Amino acid sequence: MRLCPTRPLSFALCAIILSMGIPALFAQSSPKREFRGVWISSVFNLDFPSRADDSPEAQRKEFITILDAHQQMGINAVFVQIRPSADALYPSALEPWSQWLTGAQGRAPSPVWDPLQFMLEETHKRGMEFHAWFNPFRSVVSSSSSVAESHISRTRPAWHLTYRSPFRLLNPGLPEVRDYVVSVIMDVVRKYDIDGVHFDDYFYPYEGTTTQDAETFRQYSRNIGNIADWRRDNVNIMVKMVSDSIRAAKPLVKFGISPFGIWRSGTPSGTSGLDAYSVVFCDALAWLQARTVDYIIPQLYWKLGGAQDYAKLMPWWNAQARQAGRQMYSGLGAYRLTDVAWTADDITRQVDVNREQNGHGIVFFSSNSLTRDLQGLRTALVNGAMRTQALVPTMAWKDSIAPNPPTTLRAVQSSSTRALTLTWSAPERARDGDSAAFYVVYRFADTAQIRLDNPAAIVAITPNTTWTDANPPFRVTPGSIQYAVTALDRLRNESSSVQVRFTTTSVSLQQGFSTGIQSISPNPVQNLAAIIFSLEKAAMVQIVVTDNIGRTVAMPILAERSAGAHTVEFSTDNLANGLYFVRFSAHGVVMARTLVVQK
């Protein structure tokens, strides 16, 4: 499919099509509803914070940089590990501060701040979901672990199972342990405006459990004759306790788990591997059948083909979730790209399989694999499968009533910057009492039909009742543009739209851009082009150059830059004569300019 029609078009019109954020490529294959998440690990400072000795201010800046990078590539949900080992990345009366935040478990940050509240607010500012990731039973993780005097392993040593030194696990078979874990989770649910509670696959450890809990089984067998069945039931009881507690306190908060990618070795037929059912006593099908979870994210960190064939495992998991009326997002191993045996194509093909199978979404492990653009995966996704934005799928069993639409949409253009600011009024509460939590802004060409099922028309998802289009297409050519705004409730049910058309008959070509490309010179170019761009504030900047059928031919920059003006040069020696498009993206601003190579 061509980016612009084969019939001759003016360079300006092609630029308008691109700058409107409505690319023809991938518009059909990218769904409007798709969960796109990423795990942000705190344990061992894997993702955030990357340094435990950084100041609170440095950690705040780092998290914003991470969020901006993920927002720019279309991620709509983050899973942040806030309780990695019975400790907390938030002020808690129940557990000590995490060593991964301050360098020593129990040491408060200086000055004291609330990382969880900050991360929540920044995530919601960007229209993304925040899922609080807990490790329910893990207590002491390594010999390098800092253990505070107030840590549960010291105050309640009898509650623990001991494995290979120094690994320690809260004993899932003890009723008081399950009560304690639920109390920690519900403390967060009640105090914070989180979108979801999330567990990973650590219940019983992968190294295997032998006789560590034999005495507990003798005391609390519940008339279950087999210790393996009893261990699975311990986990199932805790999962149900968490599910029931969340639904009673905040029924709109989601709850989900990320199990190991193989339920039973040999299921489905033709696959084999570690048996999570019998090794870590994790029975994900029991949770689905009992509907104690809203979603599962099986960790499918294998390629297509082989004994752990993604093309077999993904459809099987998807079928189990759909039969239970729940959602399945595929856990994709972006971290695998540190291995030269893997390529970005291995991951992008898995995204394709997901869509072919009508999967609900994807979640990447882990954050830094995307922000570092391992083997060009981030670039491939931004220019391909995730080129358009997507809304999180709805969950009808939790809420199926759409909010009322916003009202009184207005558009006003700045006389100095030519930016166009939209404002609207929040709707009245819907019949279920829900108000609007976010708004979706769509942009359409003057003569285009307004279709809300077109994800390529989405230009913003915001919690605010105003949004500024910093680069409307008529900044370079007079014309008209249409906007539509809808409301989303907490569970992302969407209202009908309110619409406005804005027309301008003149533009000032002398006006500069507050954020965006200022100039490209020389243009036409023979060998070396200089792109001058400016930023209102520090941001992750991506500039890509594409040919006239949308193929990326160069990426002059993918890096964070400070506020102000910047210049980046790139060679056109390897480019054939013709028309190219220079596409700029930074903190929500997307624009494009034409470049002619003429040698």
Q: pLDDT tens digits for 247-263?
A: 999 999 999 999 999 99
Give the Å distances, CA to CA, from 389 to 76, 77, 384, 472. 8, 12, 12, 18
- State which amino acid sits at residue 124: H
* Per-residue pLDDT in tens (0 to 9) along the chain, 599 residues: 322 322 233 323 333 333 333 333 333 368 999 999 999 999 999 999 999 999 999 999 999 999 999 999 999 999 999 999 999 999 999 999 999 999 999 999 999 999 999 999 999 999 999 999 999 999 999 877 889 999 999 999 999 999 887 889 999 999 999 999 999 999 999 999 999 999 999 899 998 999 999 999 999 999 999 999 999 999 999 999 999 999 999 999 999 999 999 999 999 999 999 999 999 999 999 999 999 999 999 999 999 999 999 999 999 999 999 999 999 999 999 999 999 999 999 999 999 999 999 999 999 999 999 999 999 999 999 999 999 999 999 999 999 999 999 999 998 888 777 789 999 999 999 999 999 999 999 999 888 899 999 999 999 999 999 999 988 876 545 567 899 999 999 999 999 999 998 876 443 333 334 688 887 888 888 889 889 888 888 999 999 999 877 788 999 999 999 888 888 999 999 899 988 889 899 987 888 888 888 88
Query: Which ranges in 517-592 belong to alpha helices (H)?
Result: none
If phi over 0 gives left and psi between -120 and 50 gives alpha, with beta otherwise, what is residue 358?
left
* Contact predicate 404/427, CB 8 Å: yes
> How far is Cα 536 from Cα 542, in angstroms, rounded to an integer?
15
* Contact predicate 407/375, CB 8 Å: no
Q: Check whether the bond before 111 is cis (ω within 30° of 0).
A: yes
> How far is Cα 458 from Cα 390, in angstroms, rounded to an integer?
8
Give the DSSP H/E element, type plus range, for residue 520. Answer: strand 516-521
* Contact predicate 216/173, CB 8 Å: yes
Q: Which pLDDT does position 402 carry in this prediction?
A: 97
Q: Which pLDDT does position 513 carry in this prediction?
A: 45
If phi over 0 gives left and psi between -120 and 50 gives alpha, with beta otherwise, what is residue 168?
beta
The neighbour count for residue 153, using CB atoms within 10 Å, is 20
**493-544 residue pLDDT tens:** 999 999 998 876 443 333 334 688 887 888 888 889 889 888 888 999 999 9
> For the chain, what is the largest distance between any 2 Cα atoms, rounded to a whole number of angstroms?
84
Q: Which pLDDT does position 581 carry in this prediction?
A: 87
Domains by residue range for the chain, with CATH:
34-382 (3.20.20.80), 407-504 (2.60.40.10), 516-597 (2.60.40.1930)
What pTM value is reported for the model? 0.81
Which residues lie closer than 8 Å to 336 by C-beta, 6 or more apart? 301, 342, 346, 347
Q: Which pLDDT does position 445 carry in this prediction?
A: 87
Work out whether strand 361-364 and strand 35-40 pair parallel, antiparallel, or are unpaired.
parallel
* Contact predicate 373/46, CB 8 Å: no
> How far is Cα 388 from Cα 455, in angstroms, rounded to an integer?
6
* Contact predicate 311/305, CB 8 Å: yes
> How far is Cα 599 from Cα 596, in angstroms, rounded to an integer?
10
The neighbour count for residue 291, using CB atoms within 10 Å, is 12
> How far is Cα 84 from Cα 182, in angstroms, rounded to an integer?
15
Eight-class DSSP state of 400: -
Please compute Rg for the chain using Cα positions.
26
If phi over 0 gives left and psi between -120 and 50 gives alpha, with beta otherwise, what is residue 597?
beta
